[in-house]
Amino acid sequence: MSDRSTIFALSSGRPPAAIAVVRMSGRQAGAALKALIGRVPQPRQAALARVREPVGGEVIDEALALWFPAPHSETGEDVAELQLHGGQAVIAGVLDALGKIEGCRLAEPGEFTRRAFENGKLDLTKVEGLGDLIAAETQAQRRLAFRQLKGLIGDRAEDWRRRLIEALALIEARIDFSDEADVPEDLVAPALDTVRQLRDEIAACLADSGRGERLREGLVVAIAGPPNAGKSTLLNRLARREVAIVSPYPGTTRDVIEVHLDLGGYPVTLLDTAGIRMSDDPVEQEGVRRARERADMADLVLWVIDGSVSDLSSAGRDPYSNGRQPSHAELWLVKNKNDLVSSQSLGSHESSPKEWINRSFTMSARTGSGLDTLISALAAHAQAYFAATESAIVTRARHRRAFEETRAALDRALEQRCTGREELIAEELRAASTTLGRLTGRIDVEDILDAIFRDFCIGK
Ligand SMILES: Nc1nc2c(ncn2[C@@H]2O[C@H](COP(=O)(O)OP(=O)(O)OP(=O)(O)O)[C@@H](O)[C@H]2O)c(=O)[nH]1
Ligand SMILES: [Mg+2]
């Protein structure tokens, strides 16, 4: 647990800016306000005030001051907020003045939120939702994060835990009073009914094929294909900037290059990979190995070929031609360099559709022709992929693990029903409830706290 000094930080973005927000939280927050503006305003009412350097009395700025006395504040402690002019020197002056006040110190990353957690204002899943909301780059990510911040998963897990504990109480009553005549014979059956229901609800949440996690990270689209086909040119086109080096020499791209895009409100991670071919160069070989690995793990592969070369087999070998198992990813063929194809020969290589191609596009990454069609198809694909995700509640591996462990414990409890060994059932239910408690942070979580709060910025 953190020490109880009063913390302060710049909570708004990098100066210079129109407005800067400096927040304080802790027992000295009121005293700090008094030292800077001479008074403590009415709770939750904005007050205009001169901010002065406490020792010399020089005016630093004029600001709006807000006061949120404990416990009705974000952190659950006394919180004060100053909305200053967002200049570098103003902020430095105010932070400097605060640092000189006894018992006040600069906050560490995520420390405001950590105090909110420690004071029971947020459970761990809500903390994660808050972190995701700040990091959200697309509207779909924002919606998912906001739902989590508002307790979509945390409240559900708490509700499951509560029902689990009720079922456990019934079974324990049965164990404790098994000799006494006035204990109803069948306490176990209704308890196990509850357990079965819970197991089904948890299983339903897990059956979302990991799309909630994907929405946090983005749909992964790998651009792969033979060397010199124009993969990097396509990546630059889609990213609308020069991310990858393009050159007329085959084997230009060696490492995997990653770009994050917002396609129609959905996050897409685009990967440019090394052209796939046999090579004696160990560096290129490693690039090809990585290219294959990433393409294998992608949700969609854009297999780019030089469409000006007469047919598919000479333009690029079958991506899975060397005896490897086809990956589960969908594969779209992109026939590039359409600008080099004379109009008479257009369409001449539609002849041999391969079964591994889900869709086919003809375009020119150089002139941009056909690019809009590809972008629309990608956006539609992302939308269809994520459509089911709007209801997903599992957004992290940590949640998935907790739910899987819970489900496994419930399964084991249900298996014990025939044996009639109630102590074993009780033990599994206890294990399940502990796992759920860890998810929301109600139970021994010190070890995961640091990992979660580390990703926050200072002032949050
Ligand atoms: N005419 C024409 N040239 C293109 C087109 N797209 C790419 N090129 C050119 O093809 C060459 C190779 O392009 P890159 O984007 O580097 O190809 P790559 O597939 O990334 O190649 P590697 O990284 O070596 O695998 C460059 O000279 C590009 O300018 C296109 O649509 N039309
Ligand atoms: Mg390249």
SS3 content of the chain, % helix, strand, coil (to 5): 45, 15, 40
Q: Which residues contact 420 (CB under 8 A, 6 or more apart)?
A: none
Give 274 Cα–ligand 2 centroid separation in angstroms.
Answer: 6
Classify residue 69 by burial, with Cβ atoms within 10 Å: 0-12, 13-18, 19+.
middle
215 token code pair? 């929405």
407 token code pair? 């489900």
373 token code pair? 């069609």
Q: In what order do the strands lie in the sheet with 330-336?
A: 257-263, 266-272, 219-224, 300-306, 330-336, 359-362
Q: How far is CA 400 from the centre of its chain?
A: 13
Mean pLDDT of the chain: 86
Query: In this model, does residue 82 exceed pLDDT 60?
Result: yes
35 token code pair? 């030292």
d(C-alpha 386, C-alpha 140), whole Å: 9
Index of the ligand 1 atom closest to the CA of residue 253 = 23
Give 249 Cα–ligand 1 centroid separation in angstroms.
Answer: 9
The label of the residue with tokens 């294909």 reads 225
Residue nearest ligand 1's atom 27 by CA = 248
* Residue of 235, 237, 238, 247 to test ligand 1 pocket, by largest number of atoms within 8 Å of CB: 247
330-367 per-position pLDDT tens digit: 899 999 999 998 765 554 444 455 677 889 999 999 99
Give 241 Cα–ligand 2 centroid separation in angstroms.
Answer: 14
Query: Residue 351: its pLDDT value, please?
Result: 46
Give 223 Cα–ligand 2 centroid separation in angstroms.
Answer: 9
> Under a CB-based contact definition with an 8 Å cutoff, are residues 428 and 413 in contact?
yes
The label of the residue with tokens 């969908």 reads 330
Give 247 Cα–ligand 2 centroid separation in angstroms.
Answer: 8
d(C-alpha 44, C-alpha 332), whole Å: 56
Residue nearest ligand 1's atom 6 by CA = 230
> Under a CB-based contact definition with an 8 Å cutoff, are residues 27 and 6 in contact?
yes
The C-alpha R_g of the chain, in whole angstroms, comes to 29
Count Cβ atoms below 10 Å from residue 8 Cβ, excluding itself.
28
299 token code pair? 């949700």
34-68 per-position pLDDT tens digit: 999 999 999 999 999 999 999 899 999 999 999 99
- Please report which confidence band the pLDDT of residue 322 belongs to, taking 50, 70 and 90 as the band edges: very low
Query: In this model, does residue 444 exceed pLDDT 70?
Result: no
CATH architecture of the domain with residue range 126-208+395-441: Up-down Bundle (1.20)
- Please report which confidence band the pLDDT of residue 320 belongs to, taking 50, 70 and 90 as the band edges: very low
Pick from 263, 219, 223: nearest CA to 246? 223
Query: Residue 73: its pLDDT value, please?
Result: 96
- Beta strand pairing status for 59-68 and 47-52? antiparallel
Query: Residue 201: its pLDDT value, please?
Result: 92
Q: How far, CA to CA in Å, does 375 sit from each of 239, 263, 268, 380?
A: 11, 8, 12, 9
230-262 per-position pLDDT tens digit: 999 999 999 988 888 888 888 888 888 889 888
Residue nearest ligand 1's atom 26 by CA = 248
Query: Residue 325: its pLDDT value, please?
Result: 42
Query: Residue 311: its pLDDT value, please?
Result: 56
Count Cβ atoms below 10 Å from residue 397 Cβ, excluding itself.
10
Give 193 Cα–ligand 2 centroid separation in angstroms.
Answer: 58
**Boundaries of every domain in the chain:** 6-121, 126-208+395-441, 214-390
- Beta strand pairing status for 266-272 and 17-25? unpaired
Fold of domain 214-390: Rossmann fold (3.40.50)
d(C-alpha 160, C-alpha 165), whole Å: 9
Fold match between 6-121 and 126-208+395-441? no
Question: Residues lining ligand 1, CB < 6 A?
Answer: 227-233, 246-248, 250-253, 274-275, 336-337, 339-340, 364-366
What percent of the chain has pLDDT above 90? Answer: 51
> Under a CB-based contact definition with an 8 Å cutoff, are residues 442 and 123 in contact?
yes
For domain 6-121, the CATH superfamily is Probable tRNA modification gtpase trme; domain 1 (3.30.1360.120)
> Which pTM does this prediction carry?
0.74
352-410 per-position pLDDT tens digit: 556 778 899 999 999 999 999 999 999 999 988 887 666 678 888 899 999 999 999 99
